[in-house]
Amino acid sequence: MTYLPATHDPELRPQRRSWPTHRQLAPLYVGVLGLLISAAAAWNPSYWGDEAASVMSAERSLPSLFRMLGTIDAVHGTYYLMLHFWIDLFGASEFSTRLPSAIAIGVATAGTFVLARMLTGARVAWIAALVFAVLPRVTYMGAEARSTALATAIAVWLVVLLVHLVRAGTASRSTQSWLWIGFTALFALGIYVFLYVALLVPVLGIAVFLLAPDRARRRGQLMAWSGATVVGLIIASPVLFAGVSQKDQLSFIGRRAQTGVLDAAVNQWFGNVPAAVIAWALILLAVVLAWFSRGRVPALERNRAALGVMLAWMLVPSAALLIGTHVVTPMYSLRYLSICTPAAAIALGIAVAWIRPRWAGIAALVLLVVAVVPSYVDQRGPYAKNAGSDWRQAASIVQAGAHPGDAIVFDESVRPSRKPRLALHLYPASFTGLRDVTLDTAYGDTGSLWDTTRPLTSVLDSLAGTDTVWLVQYSGSSEEKAGTDLHTLQDLGFSVASTATVVHTTITELTR
């Protein structure tokens, strides 16, 4: 009698472990790459005003935070709340508070890959993910303690989910219902994290129209999308209404020089002129190829709808903000269009993938990557934020020379986000033991973002018995030019012992 080995019996054969394939792990690979690129040297730049608002708000007690959100920055409340618990766990260093943004960029890079692969193919997906990870707008927000990186991650996965719903013809009605509920929840969450995610509403509608497989299904999908969008907007209505009621906090945009079309074309996503020229040339090439391929080149024809969605994603929110700025109130800022970076990356991926011969496409991709390197290096410098924010360096100078019991006076004549006083809260260890003589009410006890203070001339009695005062001023401010605080201290018998200027901050030591 012949016996077969036991392994020939299906019941006895050991089950082979099922490992994920490289194709399944590809989004993870590019996600880790995007995270690492954004996280690298994110600790180098000093904090700046917008990050001060994030960190100081997140460090408040929860009752203080909710009280503040009732008067200002309600549109950022969800992000501040998340950062509050993150800081409780990991502290408030530059790297710690910027790390969530780098992680979000990793998630967004993976989403860009998945979306591009769903709409076009693996070749475009790899190119788009690489381009997304190195775009200057992406590497900037990936190293900043603000909500735009998280909003971008939500935006790209929102579109991924929508494309899946539009094309999921075999899914059961129950499964589709749950997926639409997930779409609604993710859309509402995006608005809570960053109000301008609502600008994607027309883009998502265009995506349904262009990507639906046939006319019959298009109507049903548009109806389902409309219902989910309306419910999402209703869920997000508290933050939408808060944004309208607190719209005066956007008034700073009106005081800035208006962004021109050329400035937006360069700095909105691409960071510098060479990179912008290469990027827009590639996108224009893709549009031309898509137009002239109508009915002629099947491979290009299949990607025309995808390119149309990406162009709508890039241009419609920008146009909406420009129109709103001229009709309603100033609202256009280059940073607000960060949520469109996945579309720019996928459009560029399509363009590069279409170029023939293939070596020419590789050369174009290399040129683009090389062109963005200077912007990346600049973003990681110690004074990269806000054209030279130097609060950490100024705080280090004070720490090196000051002694417990010394008094400190801050320049209050500049707008709140530039006040040197913010260094006191962002780098508190450098000011340990110093007396903040002009402080009236600490920011945590107010309903606003910042401390309230009194003029130096009203607190002169607090300097009795003080031998050293540190005067920290914003270089070129009205106070520094007039020298009012300096003259007041000199009239009390103080004289300048030393002066140091970093970039925007001047530190003056005065002794009796």
- Give mean pLDDT, residues 238-263: 70
Q: Rounded mean pLDDT of the chain?
A: 91
Which of 46, 32, 38 minimizes the C-alpha distance to 142? 38
Residue 389 banded pLDDT, cuts 50, 70, 90 = very high
416: preceding bond cis by omega (within 30 degrees): no
Choose among 151, 215, 231, 147: nearest CA to 183.
231
CATH of the structural domain 390-511, one choice from 3.40.50, 3.20.20, 3.30.300, 3.30.70? 3.40.50
pLDDT in tens, 9-51: 545 455 566 678 878 899 999 999 999 999 999 999 999 999 9
User: pLDDT per residue over 334-358, tens digit each?
Assistant: 888 999 999 999 999 999 998 989 9
* Alpha-carbon separation of residue 333 from 153, 261, 455, 493 (angstroms): 19, 12, 34, 47
pTM, full prediction: 0.93
DSSP 83-117: HHHHHHHH-S-HHHHHHHHHHHHHHHHHHHHHHHH
Check residue 175 and give its pLDDT.
85
Average pLDDT estimate for 417-433: 96
Give the per-residue pLDDT at 1: 47
- Alpha helix segments (H runs only) across 135-250: 136-141, 148-167, 173-193, 201-211, 215-235, 237-245
Residue 126 pLDDT exceeds 70: yes
Model confidence at 499, pLDDT cuts 50, 70, 90, reads: very high
pLDDT at res. 321: 87
In whole angstroms, give the CA distance from residue 398 to residue 401: 5
Per-residue pLDDT tens over the stretch 92-125? 999 999 999 999 999 999 999 999 999 999 999 9
Q: Which one has a higher pLDDT value, 420 or 290?
A: 420
Q: Which residues have C-beta within 8 Å of that of residue 384, sequence separation ≥ 6?
A: 44, 45, 378
Residue 273 pLDDT exceeds 90: yes
Average pLDDT of 174-181? 90
The model's confidence at residue 293, banded by pLDDT at 50, 70 and 90, is low
Compute φ and ψ for 409, nearest 5 degrees.
Answer: -130, 130
Is residue 21 packed enough to be buried (19+ CB in 10 Å), middle (13-18) or exposed (0-12)?
A: exposed
Dist CA 464 CA 453 (whole Å)? 19
Nearest to 77 by CA among 218, 304, 200, 243: 243
How many other CB atoms are there within 10 angstroms of residue 272's CB atom? 16
Q: Please compute the mean of the pLDDT values over residues 468-491 and round it to a whole number.
A: 96
CA distances from 83 to 87, 139, 418 (A): 6, 20, 22
Residue 258: the pLDDT is 58
The span from the CA of 142 to the CA of 494, in Å, is 45
Instruction: Supply φ then ψ for residue 425, to 5 degrees.
Output: -90, -25
The answer to whether 458 and 431 have CB atoms below 8 angstroms apart is no
User: What are the start and end residues of each CATH 3.40.50 domain in the chain?
Assistant: 390-511
Which of 53-62, 88-97, 198-207, 249-258 is the least confident region?
249-258
What pLDDT, on the 0 to 100 scale, is given for residue 246?
75
Q: Which residue has the higher pLDDT, 216 or 158?
A: 158
Question: Per-residue confidence at 243, pLDDT binned at 50, 70, 90?
Answer: confident
